[in-house]
A and B are shown apart, each in its own frame.
Chain A
Amino acid sequence: MAPNTEHIHDSTRHPMRVAWDVWSAMYLREMIARTMADRMAWFWMIFEPVATIAVMIFIRAYIRGGQNITGAEFIPWMIVGLMGFYLFREAMIRPMGAVESNKGLFTYRQILPIDPVLIRCFVEGMIRSFIFLLFIVIGSLLKINMIPDHAFGVMMDWLSLWMLGVGLGVLLSVASGLIPEVGRIVKIITLPLLLISGVIFPVTYVPAQYQQYLLWNPIVHGIESMRLSFFDSYHSIPGIDMTYLWFWALSTLSLGLVMHVRFASRLKAI
Chain B
Amino acid sequence: MIEIRNLYKRYHGPHGGDWVLKDVNLVIPNGVSVGVVGRNGAGKSTLLRLIGGMDTPDKGRVIRKGRVSWPIGLAGGFKGSMTGRQNVKFVARVHGIKKSLQKLIQEVQDFADIGKAFDDPVTTYSSGMRARLAFGLSLAFDFDIYISDEATAVGDRAFKAKAREAFQQRVDHASLIMVSHGEGTLKQMCQAGIFVDQGHAQWFDRIEDAIGAYHLSTGVMTDVADEDDEEETPVEQLDATSLKAQLRSLRQEITTLHKQHIISEYRLETATDEDEAAILQEETELLHRKHRLARKRFSELKQHEQASAGR
Residues of A within 8 A of B (CB): 1-2, 4-8, 10-11, 13, 17-18, 21-22, 24-26, 28-29, 32-33, 37-38, 103-111, 264-266, 268-269
Q: Are A25 and B81 in contact (CB under 8 A)?
A: no
Across-interface contacts of B77 in A (CB, < 8 A)? 104-105, 107-108
Q: Are A109 and B103 in contact (CB under 8 A)?
A: no
B76 in the interface (beta carbon within 8 A): yes
Closest 6 CB pairs of A and B: A25-B93, A109-B53, A104-B76, A5-B142, A2-B170, A265-B56
Residue on B nearest A17 in the bound complex, by CB: B96
B66 in the interface (beta carbon within 8 A): yes
Complex: A32 Cα to B83 Cα, angstroms? 11
Q: Are A18 and B79 in contact (CB under 8 A)?
A: no
CB distance from B205 to the nearest CB of A (A): 27
B159 in the interface (beta carbon within 8 A): no
Q: Are B70 and A33 in contact (CB under 8 A)?
A: no
Sample of 19 further A-B pairs with CB below 8 A, known A8-B141, A18-B96: A2-B170, A6-B103, A6-B141, A8-B143, A11-B66, A21-B93, A25-B94, A26-B94, A32-B82, A38-B81, A104-B76, A104-B77, A104-B79, A105-B77, A107-B76, A107-B77, A108-B91, A108-B95, A268-B55
Q: Are B104 and A6 in contact (CB under 8 A)?
A: yes
A-B contact pairs, 5 of them (CB 8 A): A1-B107, A2-B170, A21-B96, A33-B81, A268-B54
Give B182-202 interface residues, CB cut-off 8 Å to A.
none
Across-interface contacts of B54 in A (CB, < 8 A)? 106-107, 109, 268
B298 in the interface (beta carbon within 8 A): no
Q: Are A8 and B70 in contact (CB under 8 A)?
A: no
Known: A2-B173, A109-B54, A268-B55. A37 touches B94 (CB 8 A): no
What is the total of A-B residue contacts with beta carbons within 8 Å? 97
Complex: A111 Cα to B79 Cα, angstroms? 15
B86 in the interface (beta carbon within 8 A): yes
B35 in the interface (beta carbon within 8 A): no
Q: Are A107 and B107 in contact (CB under 8 A)?
A: no
B78 in the interface (beta carbon within 8 A): yes
Question: Secondary structure of the A side of the interface?
Answer: helix
Complex: A269 Cα to B54 Cα, angstroms? 10
Q: Are B93 and A28 in contact (CB under 8 A)?
A: yes
Across-interface contacts of B78 in A (CB, < 8 A)? 104
Give B9-59 interface residues, CB cut-off 8 Å to A.
11-12, 52-56
Complex: A27 Cα to B72 Cα, angstroms? 25
Residue on B nearest A2 in the bound complex, by CB: B170
Q: Is the interface on chain B under 10, 10 to 19, 20 to 34, or 35 or more residues?
A: 35 or more
Complex: A114 Cα to B169 Cα, angstroms? 38
Q: Are A25 and B141 in contact (CB under 8 A)?
A: no
CB distance from B61 to the nearest CB of A (A): 14
Residue among A10, A25, A28 with most chain B CB within 10 A:
A25
Give B106-143 interface residues, CB cut-off 8 Å to A.
107, 110-111, 139-143
Complex: A209 Cα to B59 Cα, angstroms? 56
Complex: A28 Cα to B81 Cα, angstroms? 14
Across-interface contacts of A106 in B (CB, < 8 A)? 54
Q: Are B81 and A6 in contact (CB under 8 A)?
A: no
Complex: A14 Cα to B295 Cα, angstroms? 60
Residue on A nearest B143 in the bound complex, by CB: A8
Other-chain contact of B70, A18, A26, A109, A268 (Cβ < 8 Å): A109
Across-interface contacts of A4 in B (CB, < 8 A)? 103, 107
Interface string of B128-167 (1 = CB under 8 A from A): 0000000000011111100000000000000000000010
Complex: A266 Cα to B13 Cα, angstroms? 11
Across-interface contacts of B111 in A (CB, < 8 A)? 1
Known: A104-B78, A109-B54. A1 touches B104 (CB 8 A): no
Q: Are B94 and A21 in contact (CB under 8 A)?
A: yes
CB distance from B43 to the nearest CB of A (A): 15
Across-interface contacts of B170 in A (CB, < 8 A)? 2
Interface string of B59-78 (1 = CB under 8 A from A): 00000001100110010111
Across-interface contacts of B52 in A (CB, < 8 A)? 109
CB distance from A105 to the nearest CB of B (A): 5
Other-chain contact of A110, B94, B100, B107, B110 (Cβ < 8 Å): B94
Residue among B12, B78, B86, B144 with most chain A CB within 10 A:
B86
CB distance from B162 to the nearest CB of A (A): 11
Across-interface contacts of B70 in A (CB, < 8 A)? 107-109
Q: Are A10 and B96 in contact (CB under 8 A)?
A: yes
B90 in the interface (beta carbon within 8 A): yes
